Every structure is written in structure tokens, then in C-alpha cells.
Structure 1
Amino acid sequence: MSWGTQLWDQYENISSQTNKGIEFLEKYCSFIQDRLAIEKEYATKLRRLAKSYQPKKREEEDNEFSSCQAFRNVLKEINDLAGQREVVAESLEQRIVQGIQVLSKALRDERKRCLNEGTSLQQTLTAQLSALDRAKRNYEKAFRESERAVENHKKADMDLNLSRAEVERYKNIMTAKIQQSDDAKNEYANQLQKTNNLQRQHYGVALPTVFNRLQELDEKRTGGIREFIIGTAEVESAVAPIIARCMEGIVKAGESINEKEDSFKVIERYQSGFTPPTDIPFDDLSKHNPDSPLDSRVLSNHFTVKGTISKGVKKRTAIFSFFGSNKEDFSDLPPSQRRKKLQAKIAELQHKLNQEV
């Protein structure tokens, strides 16, 4: 079914429909533009989020925990996800938005040409109908005048009081009016034939051709929307495998967390190496020499209840003097932590020594 035959008398509605169709196409273009703006904003915020949660320098010690390492990997995958959203936005702009803009301009230009041609055809037909109307009015006027002239001639011919010359004058007037009526009739018939031919051509060929072109234009617009909608899905599908790998990376990061291992690392980090304090003996004051100094009653255990080295114990720092200051020999740390730090320091010095050799 074609618009040219089925909608032959719906010029205004066809014009309105094609305009609304192009406006709808441009509305869909605006939708895609707003969407890709959201995609860009989302990607930017994802990158900013991943960057803001990157471990700070003061948090480097915590990076040994599997949960912290997993979180760093999650941030990396989030950053990759942001990159894929940027790819989606770029593809939507280049493939969909630009495609719609090109199609919209082409459709508007073609629609304008069709409407101009249709307007020209309508003006030509209107002008011919006006010519026919004038010819008909002239014919009607001439016919009435010829009838009156015939009637006047009959009356004059029957009037015995009129001279032959007067009767002849009425006869000549009648003949002239009849000729004018015949000429007007022929002109009317000629204009009627031209009008019918033009009208037949107008509604049978010329205008249907324009309407069919407008139908093709509208179908092209509708088909374009179909392809653009499918295209948006294809853009998403193109990055889906990479996004899936990002999700797999996040799952892998989560699965790498080992709570037992992290718990053991807490022990390694904070274990002091001290033994729990022994039972505090009963101090029987009656068995002590009252003249003995108070310091003689100090607990024989060199560790206080809090587990720290008592002030009565002399610190052995001489053997670590080659490390430099007390802070460098880690003397302020508990034994276990100090041992690990010293071992690391020795390994570092050994490495430097090997490099120099």
C-alpha cells in the first residue's frame, strides 16, 4: 500500500507526519547525547573514586594483608571499567549520534524538496481551476445574454411598428451574442478539458509520486531508528567481554583473601616476644630485715606486670652500636619486633656489601 493512492487527499497530514517523524529521530539523538554524557561522567567519577581510594604512603604497611591487596586489585579493575564506559561513550558519539545527525539533515532536505514540489503542483492545479471557473462564468454570462438577444429579436420581429432596419439591428445583435456565447462555450469546454487532464495527472501521477517519495523518506527514517537502537546494543556488546573479565578480576581478588594468613600476619607484626608475667609471690614483711633497703624487696623478675623491661635492667646497646643511634638499632621495639627489624637491616647491609664487592 502506498501513500500516493491511499492518502491522495491528505497532503497536510502527510506533511505533518513526516515532520513529526524527523523530530522524533532528533529526540532520540538527544537521548543518546544525554546518555553518553552520563557515561562520560560515570567514567570520570569511577576513575576519581579509584584514585581517591588508592593506598596512602602511611598505609603501606597494611598492604601485606591479603584483603588490602585484593582491594588494590579491585581498584585496578574499577579503573579498567571506567575505561570501557569511556569506550561506550565514544562509540555512541561516533557511530550513533553522528549517524543520526547525517540522516536527519538528509531527510529534512529531501522533505523540503518534496513539499516544494507538491506545493508547486498544487498551485498549478489551483491556477487551472481558477481559469476553468472564469471560463464557466464567462460562458454563463454570454449564454444568458444570447438568450436575451434571441428573445429581443423575436419580440422585434413580431412588432409591426418597428421598421425593417430596426428588426435587422436586433437580428445582428442576436447573431453577435450567439457567437459570443459559442466562443465562451468553446473556451469553457477547452478549459474544462485542460483542467480534467491536469487534475487526472495531478492526482494520478504527479502528487502520488511526491507522496510516495515522502513515504520512502519516512520509512528510511523509521528503519534508521531501528538500526541505531540495535547499534547501541552492539556498542555495549563490544565491551561486554572486557567488562566480564573485569568482573572476573574482582571475583579473583575477592577469592584471594585469606583470613587465616592475615590473622597470622597480625601476630607477626605485633608479637612482642615477651613471656606473660609469672605469679607475684607473697611478700611476707615479717621475714624481712627492717633495716634492709626497700630496693631489696624488688621482685626478682626483671619484667613488670605490664610486660615491659624494668628500670633496674641495664640496656645492652654496645653490641648494636654499629647501627648508629638507638632509634636505628630499634632498641625501642619489643624483642620479637626488634629481631625482625635487625634481621631485615642485616640483610640490607649484606646486599649493599655484595654490590660493592
Structure 2
Amino acid sequence: MDELSWGVELWDQVENLFKHEIDQVGLTESYFKLFSDVQKLQHEFGKKLRKTVSVYLPRKKPDVDELSSVLTYSSIVPQILEIGVTHEASSKKLNESVVNPLKTQVENEKRSLEKQRSHWSKLNATIEQSRKQLELSWQKYVTNFKEKQKAYEVSERAQNDIQLARVDQQKFEALYQSKVQSFDQASRNYVDELAKYNIASRRHYSTDIVTFVDDMESSSRMRNNRTRELLLMVTRINEETISKLASCNKLISEAVSALDSSYDSAKVIKRLHTDEQPPADLPFLDLDKCPPGILDGSVSELGALILGVESAECTNQLNNSGSAISGSGMMSGLIRSTHKNSKDEYLSLRSPFICGISIKSIKNTDLTIRQVADRIKVLRELVMKTDNELRSTDRMIESCRTNPKFGDMECLVRAGATYSRRLNSLKQHIKELEK
């Protein structure tokens, strides 16, 4: 459909058009207030987010930096910080490219509307002045017509009155002729003013109002076009912001995907693992069968007797190596008896934990043949027990798949994974002892 003209179609709706334009300027002002508030909120959010996250920026810790959990954290925090920076940058662009231009546009539109109102008043004043001039000319025209008609009637009566002197009849006739001349002059003046008014009226309605209303339409279209450009700028800023946020989120997602509990667990084992094994069992010391003099001898020789080795030099279990294992009712290091012998003899018997046997960790290479056999036996029993627990857990998991109300599937899966890892470690230790 072809576009139509406000000036031609709405020439008689100027006041309603002014109301329409006032509403449109108000709408532009609403856009300004809206994006002004949005810009302030975005700036405040970005600033607070950036300052808050900056406190959590990771510090380098070489001993743990290789863990995926640490790497994930180290990757995520800067991206969250970048999100704050992005919002700050976006708010700045919004302020410079949208908010400030909208403010200027609102101020200009209000001034333009005031000028249009003033111009409209002048147009109306001009046509009103033409109407007044025509009104005055009309009044004179009508008045002179009435006076001429009255003078004519008086003159006719005088001419028909045979008792009236001829001089008086001539006076009334002269008065009538004078009124005729006045009427003719008033008539010519009225015709002139009427022509001027019609010209002014045609110009007012056919040209001035049409031009004025078309100018209002042009202003309205320009306003909409400017507003449209500014709103498109908002979308471009948002698209740029969303793109940067999506990039940050993608990096965060990649960092989260790199979080590997199995990898970290292996790293922790590699970093903290030692060759130390739990303390060996404490052998029984038959005091009645101890060789003469050994109870008064060195503690290390007594320890060698307990372990069944020829001398203290044959094993490192009797020296100061190994870590003391603390526990309920124990003290780190060599544990002393809670009571003392009545005499100072047999000092080596003041505690059953001679040379720290059974309270200090021990290396596989320091185990005696009997201790190795005992340790393998214990480990195999643990393997069997753990394997049974794993099988039982697997059966429960299968039952949960059939009937979800049977138990907590997630908890069972975690337990199964724990048993599986424990089984792997126990088997590995058995292999190491059997070498």
C-alpha cells in the first residue's frame, strides 16, 4: 500500500497530533531512563564482581599446581573476573553510544516540540487576523447596506408626500445618494477583504497546515529512525557482550571438563607415597628362654632376638628409621611402661615396644622372612574380604537398577569404586612382597 501524507490526511487533527508527539517524546524519554538505569546496574555489577573475584585469584603453589582441581580453579577464577570486566566495558559502551545520545535526543525533541507549538500558534494567529479583518469589513458592509436601505425608504416616502416641500424631498434624495456611495465603497472594501481572506484561508489550509503537519510527520519519522539506530546499537553491544561471555563460559566449561578425580588421586599418591608400610606384628618375648646376659645388654640385641635375626645390623627395624605411629593410648616414639620396676635392672624391659617394634612404620626391604609371610597372609585376607564386599555391592547396584527404591544408587556406586581401588592397591602390595 502506498504511503499517505499526514498533512493531507490529518490537516484537522493537529491538536491530537501534538498529543501523539508528546507521547512519543515521552516514550523516547522512557528509553533513556530505562537504559540509564540498566547501564548503572551493569556497571555496578561488573565493578563489584571484578573486585570480589580479584580476592580469589590463585597464588602459585608448585607442589599442588599440577592437580586438575587446582588447574580448574586457576582457570575458572580469571574467567569469572573477565565476566566482570566485560560487563564494565559493556556498560561504558552503553553509556557512550546509547544513553548519552538518548538524553540529547530527548532534550532536542522537547525543544523542537516547543518550537512547533509556537509556530502553530503563529499560523493560527495569522488566519485569525485575516478573519478579524474580514469581520470588520463585513460589519461595515452590512451597516452601510442597512443605512442605504433606510435612506431609500425615507426618500421614497418623501417623494410620495405631496405636502413635503420640494427642497426637503431633494435633501432626502441627496442623503440616499450619499448612503449609496458609502455602501458601494463598503462593498468594494468587503470584496477586497474577502479576496484577501480567501487567499489567506486557502494558503492556510492547503499549504501552511499541510506543510506544518508534514513537518511533524518528518520529525516523528526522524525520531523513530534515530531511536531505531540506538536500539540496534543496544543489540550490537549485547551481541558483543554475549559473545565475550560465551567465550568465558566456554573456557570455564573446558576447565570444568578437565577436572579429573582419578588423575588427581593418582597425583596425590605419587606426591605423598613413601615405601613405608604399617608396623609389623609384635612377636612374643619369652623371658624364661632369653640367653643369659641379654636382658642386661643393649636394647638392639634384645630387639634382634625378638625379630629372630642374628644381630641388630641385619635389619634396619632396630635403628631410628621409620615413623612412629600415634594412636589411642600411645605416645610418639618409644612408649614407656606406665609403671617402673622396683630396681634399675633390666632397663630394656621397661616397655614391650622394644626398639619401636610394632609402633613404627617399616619398609618392605626391612621385613624379615617371617614378617613378609605374615604380611602377605594378612593382605590376602584383606583381598578376599574386599572382593566379597565389592561383589556384594555390585549385586546391590543391579538390584537398584531393577528397583530404584531398593537403595541409594549413587552411594553404592561410590562404595563400589572405593572397594575396587582398595582391591587394586592390596594386590599391588602383594606383588611387591612376592618379588
TM-score normalised to structure 2 length: 0.63
Q: Residues 191-230 of structure 1 correspond to what in structure 2 (within 5 A)? A: 191-230=193-232
| 2:135 counterpart letter in structure 1 | D
Kindly provide the CA deviation profile for residues 217-256 of structure 1, in whole angstroms up to 9, marking residues without a partner as x.
1001011121111111111223444333322211221122
The alpha-carbon deviation at position 118 of structure 1 amounts to 2.5
For 1:64 and 1:44, locate their aligned partners in 2 and report how far apart those are by CA, in whole Å: 31
Alignment of 1:72-221 (within 5 A): 72-221=74-223
* In 1: Cα distance, 2:68 partner to 2:53 partner: 18
CA distance in 2, matches of 1:255, 1:238: 25
**Aligned pair partner of 2:265 in 240, 263, 266:** 263
Q: Describe the shift of the 1:335–1:264 C-alpha distance in structure 2 as closer, same or farther (beyond 3 A).
A: farther
Matched, 1:42 2:45: yes
Task: Choose which of 29, 46, 51 in structure 1 pairs with 2:32.
Answer: 29
SS of the counterpart of 1:151?
helix
Task: Return the offset for 1:265.
Answer: 3.9
| Cα deviation digits, residues 144-176 of structure 1 (max 9, x gap) | 121111111111222222211222221122122
Q: Which amino acid aligns with 2:32?
A: C
**Counterparts of 2:5 and 2:46, CA distance in 1:** 48
2:5 maps to 2
Give the distance between the partners of 1:286 and 1:126, measured in 2 at CA. 141
The answer as to whether partners of 2:7 and 2:209 remain within 8 angstroms in 1 is: yes
Q: Is the 8 A contact 1:146 1:174 kept in 2?
A: yes
Q: 2:333 aligns with which of 310, 313, 318?
A: 310
* Aligned AA (1:117): H
Which residue is 2:55 aligned to?
52
The answer for the alignment partner of 2:73 in structure 1 is 71
In structure 1, which of residues 222, 235, 238 is the aligned counterpart of residue 237 of structure 2? 235
Uncovered stretches (5+) of structure 1, i.e. residues with no partner? 314-333, 337-357
Partner of 1:325: none
Larger radius of gyration: 2
Q: Report the identity percentage.
A: 23
Residues 184 and 99 of structure 1, relative CA distance in 2, 3 Å threshold: same
Cross-structure match for 2:415: none
Q: 2 CA distance for matches of 1:219 and 1:29?
A: 18
Query: What is the root-mean-square deviation of aligned Cα atoms in Å?
Result: 3.4
In 2: Cα distance, 1:100 partner to 1:312 partner: 84
CA 1:164 to 1:335, structure 2 compared with 1: closer, same or farther past 3 Å?
farther
Contact preservation (8 Å) 1:114, 1:213: no
- TM-score scaled by structure 1? 0.75
Confirm or deny: 8 A CA contact 2:325 2:332 kept in the other structure: no
| Equivalent residue pairs, number | 312
